[in-house]
A and B are shown apart, each in its own frame.
Chain A
Amino acid sequence: MTDAAMAAEGGLDTFPKLILRNARIRAGLPAMREKDFGIWQTWTWAEVLGEVEAAAIGLAEIGFQRGDTCAVVGANRPRLYWTIMAVQSLGGVPVPVYADAIAEELAYVLEHADVGFAMCEDQEQVDKVLSVAENLPGLRHIIYDEERGLADYDHSRLSSFVTIQQKGRDRLAADDSAAQAFLDSIAAGKGSDISIILYTSGTTGRSKGVMLSAERCIKAATDTVEFDRLTERDEVLAYLPLAWVGDHYLNYAQGIVAGFCMACPESSATAAHDLKEIGPSFYFAPPRVFENMLTQLTIRMQDAGALKRWMFDYFIGVARRYGEKILDGHSVPASGRLLYWLGHLFVYGPLKNVLGFSNIRVAYTAGEAIGPDLFSFYRSLGLNLKQLYGQTEAFLYVTAHPDGHVRADTVGPPSPNVDVKIAENGEVLFKTPGQFIGYFKNDEATKETIDAEGWVHTGDAGFFDTDNQLKIIDRAKDVGKLRDGTLFAPKYIENKLKFFPNIKEVVAFGDDRDFVCAFINIDLNAVGNWAEKNNLAYGSYQELAAHPDVNRIIEGHVDQTNQDLAREPAMAGAQIKRFLVLHKELDADDGELTRTQKVRRRFIAERYAPLIEAFYDGSSEKFVETEVTYEDGRRGKIAATVQIRDMETYPTRAAEATREAAE
């Protein structure tokens, strides 16, 4: 590396400058891998710099200028990451777009971001961009990675990534100053420049472009790299969507800051295989992924021989007793340690190897609530699984569990250098080092989100538990109050109940009411299974749901939930006083759930208004008739008399303590 390159590194306040540094001090260390034709190919940091240099000079050749934006559409492929790096080197702004976005969504983002260039993974993405190109006057050139099927296209404004790089290499060979121009361009980048625009997924209205500056991105990533002690010896599998903040932060930003290696899976379908082969040391997955893994595992164990099943059950029992304590460094009797060591030898070790978890030092989950059983299952195997809470607007981390202080029901204390405050209405506010600059071309939304004092409003409601750990309870707009002023967070209560396998869906009511009530849907599989084992005959969902024994089981679950709630001072007032097991399954066909299986609270409240009335007028049963739509579109009616049950509520534990003191 020349002196010129070292000079270009400057204050290390942009990603290209850090890549220059990595290419100098970690020249021979792996930076990226991709499985190609069945074999893992590796690029060192020096090689990555070479690829980026060629791409950047090639892009400049076809007219890319400082300030231009370039959409990046596709899966996690090295060339797509190199495009992001090359665009940043030229002082441009990359705009990654979700690969599965439909053409209209893509058109919206591309138009809103004024993209001049688009890097597409393959023919599918090129077709999508071309189909909306007429509405994109600013689009000057489309580049693609995978050549297949594109040979016959008009190439006047279309080039393969390879040709762009070739242009760059030709220029480098012909012109001695090209290399210096590339370094100058990196040196000209400032930390305050927009490093990337990440579009939010847009579950609520149009997606917004979150502008992140280079220095803030790097600062945030530096903090968490230190927090989890990540080094150049770590390795990740980059399988999260390229356009999601999780991938850009956990893999791209942390990878470049810490200098570790990022492996790209062969295809999304092979990610599980690739995980096993790579054996990453840092891993992130949403709770759903962990849940699927456990389901698969359980099914496969049921097919295993008797001896294996016995070993599995026995040692999982051992792990449940001692695993988490050992992981957190608590004291465990010597016999426990010995059993756990044997368990590791026979069960946990091989199991983790199959799942690709053998080398994991740090694993995170986030996005939704994770069941405590599920969470502790993985932890008991010795997997250092933790939770974090974050947002695109924060450049990810707001809170995260430090090693050794992990709980299933919290998302951890504020991350290093992050300030978190709870607003009066319960909304979580934060200031983070990685905080976004604003929404692209949407000052109004920016003003709504960042208040005058600089606090960013998350839209989530939460509170701090006794040990400074944050609990997220619901979306702030869904959180209400009982008539006596007690906080009522429906989703928090519903999630607690839904962790019971027998319960599929819950809808809690209580906003502006005297107490909390709940509709409960039983899980037909789980309860049906139980009924079969207990020789309980039933003809339909409705019949099973109305069975007194089933109601008794559910009553037990509600009681357990109330006891749990009583332990949390902030939530104790919102215990469930009355509940009923609904006579029909909530169904998207009837408009009761969204297509993504989320409860449509308001609609349900209207549809079942007589039942809610019955909750609060004290009746113990109610006859209802409900119209249903069958799958073939026919309509019918279900009539039933629904039983309503009263529940005992518990005093809060704090109150208990005072009472004891008084006696």
Chain B
Amino acid sequence: MNAFVRSDQAAPEDGIKAGEVMLRVENVSLAFGGVRAITDVSFDILKGEIRAIIGPNGAGKTSMLNVINGFYHPQEGEIWFRGVKRSNMKPHQIAHQGIARTFQNIALFKGMSTLDNIMTGRLTMMRRNMLWQALWTGPAEAEEIRHREFVERIIDFLEIQHIRKMPVGRLPYGLQKRVELGRALAAEPQLLLLDEPMAGMNLEEKEDMSRFILDVNSQFGTTIALIEHDMSVVMDLSDRVVVLDYGKKIGDGTPDEVCRDQTVIDAYLGVSHD
């Protein structure tokens, strides 16, 4: 009853099996004028895994996420998503591809209810034009009911029934983060990008959020890439970790491997770069 039934508008299945490469970043470099944010970074994300991107402040983590979801176009290097080399796309085209994300600073519509905010995550799947939707009859009505049902399943899944009709601006921070995750889930993503999903949360909220991330991953098989500062969370949640420092990749592997890596330890403890 609670399993998400993929609706017909979902991004097409591509025949990739769990454990095969879903997204590959090859020798990507990104510069803003003279500032090199990312230098020659390569790694891959396997289908069904939770992949963490970590690194000290300014390491280029968020830039990397923006490259993955197509917001930034790297000057060099290639992105392969589901076996297809990606050309430069507009963000909404990316969304249609099946990548959704949450933001480091919450980006919700503060005056709208939880329900409406999550509903916006379904926008890319609405097929009826604005006139139909304004009339809200016939096929538009049927479509909205279908989307609403999906959104209600997300509300149930994230246990936010009690704030369904509350304006998001009035909610505490931890709940807003949950609503944002809900909106990302509403797009039925193949790949979910989470930018510091637990920043600023207290221990209990972190535990809740960790549980939801694991549940999303295990129940819907959604592949997740996340940026996080809390190392204990990263170690518990992720299958593999990629470590960035000053825009370069300095480590890649399971949490245990990364933890023991001397370069990584140096980067975190602050060895001088000269």
A and B: interacting chains: yes
Q: A37-B153, A37-B156 are in contact. Are A148 and B162 (CB under 8 A)?
A: no
Main secondary structure of the interface of B (DSSP, over half): helix
Judge whether B159 is part of the interface by a CB distance below 8 angstroms. Answer: yes
- Which of chain B's residues has its CB closest to A146's CB? B2
Q: Which residues in A have their C-beta under 8 angstroms from that of B164?
A: 38
Judge whether A269 is part of the interface by a CB distance below 8 angstroms. Answer: yes
- Which of chain B's residues has its CB closest to A162's CB? B1
- Report the count of interface residues on A (CB-CB < 8 A): 17
Q: A37-B153, A37-B156, A148-B215 are in contact. Are A269 and B2 (CB under 8 A)?
A: no
A4 to B39, CA, bound (A): 81
Q: A37-B153, A38-B152, A38-B155 are in contact. Are A267 and B2 (CB under 8 A)?
A: no
Judge whether B219 is part of the interface by a CB distance below 8 angstroms. Answer: yes
* Residue pair A147, B1 in contact (C-beta under 8 Å): yes
**Contact-size category for B:** 10 to 19
Q: Which residues in B have their C-beta under 8 angstroms from that of A37?
A: 149, 152-153, 155-156
A135-154 vs B, CB cutoff 8 Å, 1 = contact: the mask equals 00000000000111101100
B133-177 vs A, CB cutoff 8 Å, 1 = contact: the mask equals 000000000000000110011011101011010000000000000
Q: Which residues in A have their C-beta under 8 angstroms from that of B149?
A: 37
Give, as a whole number of angstroms, the nearest-CB distance from B247 to chain A: 39
A29-47 vs B, CB cutoff 8 Å, 1 = contact: the mask equals 0000001111100000000
Judge whether A204 is part of the interface by a CB distance below 8 angstroms. Answer: no
- Which of chain A's residues has its CB closest to B211's CB? A149
Give, as a whole number of angstroms, the nearest-CB distance from A200 to chain B: 30
A269 to B155, CA, bound (A): 14
A38 to B151, CA, bound (A): 10
A162 to B3, CA, bound (A): 14
* Residue pair A270, B162 in contact (C-beta under 8 Å): yes
Q: Which residues in A have their C-beta under 8 angstroms from that of B215?
A: 148-149
* Residue pair B161, A267 in contact (C-beta under 8 Å): yes
- Which of chain A's residues has its CB closest to B149's CB? A37
Residue among A37, A39, A269 with the highest chain B CB neighbour number at 10 A: A37
Residue among B156, B157, B162 with the highest chain A CB neighbour number at 10 A: B162
Give, as a whole number of angstroms, the nearest-CB distance from B93 to chain A: 31
Q: A37-B152, A38-B155 are in contact. Are A147 and B2 (CB under 8 A)?
A: yes
Give, as a whole number of angstroms, the nearest-CB distance from A34 to chain B: 12
A152 to B161, CA, bound (A): 26
Give, as a whole number of angstroms, the nearest-CB distance from A7 to chain B: 36
Interface residues in B80-110 by Cβ distance below 8 A to A read none
A19-63 vs B, CB cutoff 8 Å, 1 = contact: the mask equals 000000000000000011111000000000000000000000000
* Residue pair B219, A148 in contact (C-beta under 8 Å): yes
Judge whether A266 is part of the interface by a CB distance below 8 angstroms. Answer: yes
Q: Which residues in A have their C-beta under 8 angstroms from that of B162?
A: 266-267, 269-270, 273
Q: List 16 A-B contacts (CB under 8 A).
A: A37-B152, A37-B155, A38-B148, A38-B152, A38-B161, A38-B164, A146-B2, A147-B2, A148-B2, A151-B219, A162-B1, A266-B161, A267-B161, A267-B162, A270-B161, A270-B162
Extra 7 A-B pairs, beta carbons < 8 Å, given A37-B152, A37-B156, A147-B1: A38-B148, A39-B152, A146-B2, A148-B215, A266-B161, A266-B162, A273-B162
Chain B residues at the A interface, C-beta cutoff of 8 Å: 1-2, 148-149, 152-153, 155-157, 159, 161-162, 164, 215, 218-219
